[in-house]
Amino acid sequence: MAETFYGQIAENRRNSTLLALVVIALFGVLGFAIGYAITGYASGALGVMGLAVLLGSLAAAGSYFGGDSLVLSVSGAKEVDEAAAPQLLNVVREMSIAANVPMPKVYVIDDTAPNAFATGRDPKHASVAITTGLLEKLDREELQGVIGHEMSHVRNFDIRFALLVGVLVGSIALLADFFLRFTFWGGGRRSRDDRGGSSGLQAIFFVLAIVLSILAPIAARLVQLAVNRQREYLADASSVQLTRNPYGIERALAKISEDQEVLEVANRATQHMYFTNPIKKFEQRASGLFSTHPPTLERINRLRQLTGDRPLQGPDADQLAGLD
DSSP string, 54-82: HHHHHHHHHHHHHHHHHHHHHTTEEE--T
Catalytic choice (3, 136, 150, 250): 150
- Alpha-carbon gap, residue 126 to 151, rounded angstroms: 9
**For residues 232 and 118, is the Cβ–Cβ distance under 8 A?**
no
| Helix locations, 100-199, DSSP H | 132-137, 140-155, 158-184, 187-194
150 is catalytic: yes
DSSP state of 274: B
- H/E element, 118: strand 116-120
Nearest Cα neighbor of 129 from 150, 113, 148, 112 is 150
Task: Mention every residue, 6+ apart, whose C-beta is less than 8 A from residue 295.
Answer: 320, 321, 324
Taking CA atoms, 50 is separated from 27, 28, 87, in Å, by 11, 9, 50
Angle subtended by helix axes 296-307 and 200-243, to nearest 10: 50
CA proximity to 168, closest of 55, 42, 70, 41:
55
**Rounded Cα–Cα distance for residues 12 and 20 (Å):** 12
- For residue 306, the tally of other CB atoms under 10 A from its CB is 18
Q: Return the bridge partners of 130, or none.
A: 108, 116
Distance set, CA 309 to CA 8, 175, 247, 258, 322 (Å)? 16, 48, 11, 22, 22
| Residues designated catalytic | 150
